[in-house]
Amino acid sequence: MLYDLRGLKLRAAPAGFSARELKSRLSSLVGAYWPSASAADLPHLPWRRGADFLGSRYAIMGGAMTWVSDSRLVAALSNAGAFGVLAGGAQTAEDLDREIAATRALTDRPFGVNVITFAPHFAAQLESCLDRRVSHVIIGGGVPTVEQIARARQAGAKVMAFAASFAMASRALRNGADALIAEGREAGGHVGPLSTSVLVQELLSLFDRAPVFVAGGIGRGELIAHYLRLGAAGCQLGTRFVCAHESRVHPRAKAAYVNAAGRGAVLSMQLDPEFRVIPVRALANRASREFAALQRDTIERCRRGELRKTETQALIENFWAGRLKRAVLDGDVEFGSMMAGQSVEFVQREQSVAEIVAELVAQAEGSPTASGAAKTDAKRVSQEAAA
């Protein structure tokens, strides 16, 4: 049976919520989690706010993955009813301009472009996006400035900013961002300090101020539904699409992702807080073990006076240069950087983007496919047997 919360008496609602809003969210949560609830019993899944903001059918964003999220993958996502996002990465403005044009040739649906503030060509990339009238610009690498956001909005673009904390989120909104991406520590690549669940709770009071899309460790549609019912506008998934047919990732790398467990996607190791390592989540391999050995060796040499501190830090920082490209395009699964979120647990096989999106939506709307669940269980049993 379902619990009817219409008669619930609340003495006071938490800050930022009216009693009516809180009761509505509590009711939605009970409906989402109570095992006996049928799909017909559950409240209508609130896709609309995020979908209207993105211009897509579903409020599902494809995470921008450097060397992975190219025109083919992005167009496939948008054509499937999700929202594709091109990865600007370290591309020149000219290369990014060609990718935007190539995406437009493959889809008439909206898509976004992710640019990173510390990338060498950031300013030129941003201008390329605006010249091409890209509808959504996603700015990473720190909180975008008032001037950067104003420039994009004046050109007609909607600006989305990443938030790894309440302080970052608040500052981005003050600076004029239209929406936020709350990305937790379970995500692949560069990550912040908080888990997705803790970060979302920290940002709950902002959900009514602007659309907030949740990212980090999301691999199934049921979790998308959970965040939507909490008040999020939608979700962003990256790792889940790495092994799509439309993904350019090398077949050897795809095989490694399919065989990987969630616990195999680990953060880069930092041996000494005096020599900072930017936290990056990727599959553990020989390169990650060599990175730990390099840190030990260079730090010991620094302590002996053989290296200056700046030289030691540079050696540590430069270790991973070019290794993501080696993994993605060359299939170097041992010495490349196999960036992945912990949701790699749910990457079961190579599928089309349309099939993945349909599977996520079916799960979110209360009718998960038995085959999807069975394959997840089979993968887990296989991993436990090999452990």
State residue 384's pLDDT score.
55
On the question of pLDDT at 2 being above 90, the answer is no
Q: In 55-85, which positions are buried (b, 16+ CB within 10 angstroms) versus exposed (e)?
A: ebbbbbbbbbbbbbbbbbbbbbbbbbbbbbb
Q: Tell me which of 130-134, 162-166, 364-368 is least confident.
A: 364-368
What superfamily in CATH does domain 48-248+346-376 come from? Aldolase class I (3.20.20.70)
| pLDDT number for residue 90 | 81
Would you state the pLDDT for residue 100?
98
Structure confidence at residue 98 (pLDDT): 97
Confidence of residue 37 (pLDDT cuts 50, 70, 90): very low
379 DSSP assignment: H
The confidence score (pLDDT) of residue 175 equals 98
Q: Which of 5-19, 47-61, 324-338 has the lowest mean pLDDT?
A: 5-19
Average pLDDT (210-229) is: 97
Q: Return d(Cα 150, Cα 141) in angstroms, integer.
A: 18
Q: What is the pLDDT of residue 38?
A: 37
Is the confidence at residue 44, as pLDDT, over 80? no
For residue 247, which of 82, 15, 74 has the smallest C-alpha distance? Answer: 74
| Beta strand ranges found along the chain (DSSP E) | 60-62, 85-87, 112-116, 136-140, 158-163, 179-183, 189-190, 212-215, 234-237, 265-267, 280-283
Report domain extents, the chain.
48-248+346-376, 257-345
Per-residue confidence (pLDDT) for residue 382, from 0 to 100? 53
Per the listing, tokens 């909607």 go with 158
Mean pLDDT of 159-168: 97
Token readout for 151 is 């420039």
26 with 5: CB under 8 angstroms?
yes
| AA identity, residue 225 | A
pLDDT at 45: 82
Please give the Cα distance from 208 to 223 (Å, whole number): 20
Rounded Cα gap, residues 113 and 74, in angstroms: 10
Longest distance between any two alpha carbons in the chain, whole Å: 73
pLDDT at 348 over 60: yes
Mean pLDDT of 151-180: 97
Percentage of the chain modeled with pLDDT above 70: 83
pLDDT: which is higher, 204 or 1: 204
- In angstroms, the CA 305 to CA 323 distance is 29
Cα distances (angstroms) measured from residue 212 to each of 88, 209, 235, 314: 22, 9, 8, 36
CB 333 within 8 A of CB 286: no
C-alpha 105, offset from chain centre? 25
Assigned token pair, 112: 């976004």
CA nearest neighbour of 374 among 382, 384, 366: 382
Check residue 21 and give its pLDDT. 56
Which pLDDT score, from 0 to 100, does residue 368 have? Answer: 46
- Lowest pLDDT segment from 16-20, 62-66, 280-284, 356-360: 16-20
pLDDT of residue 375 exceeding 50, the answer is yes
Q: Are 358 and 351 in contact (CB under 8 A)?
A: no
Q: How confident is the model at residue 365 (pLDDT cuts 50, 70, 90)?
A: very high
Q: Is the dihedral of CA 64, 237, 156, 180 positive or negative?
A: negative
For the segment 167-208, what is each residue's pLDDT rounded down to a tens digit? Answer: 999 999 999 999 999 999 999 999 999 999 999 999 999 999
Q: Helix and strand tally (H, E) in the chain?
A: 15, 11
Rounded average pLDDT over 34-52: 63
Compute the distance between CA of residue 21 and CA of residue 311 in angstroms, rounded to an integer: 55
> Please, what is the average pLDDT of the chain?
88
Q: How far apart are the first and last CA of the chain?
A: 40
Instruction: Tell me the β-bridge partners of 318.
Output: none
Name the more confident of 296 and 42.
Answer: 296
Q: Which of 73-87, 199-213, 373-387 has the weakest average pLDDT?
A: 373-387
Task: Quote the distance between the C-alpha of residue 7 and its chain's center.
Answer: 39
Q: What is the pLDDT of residue 370?
A: 37
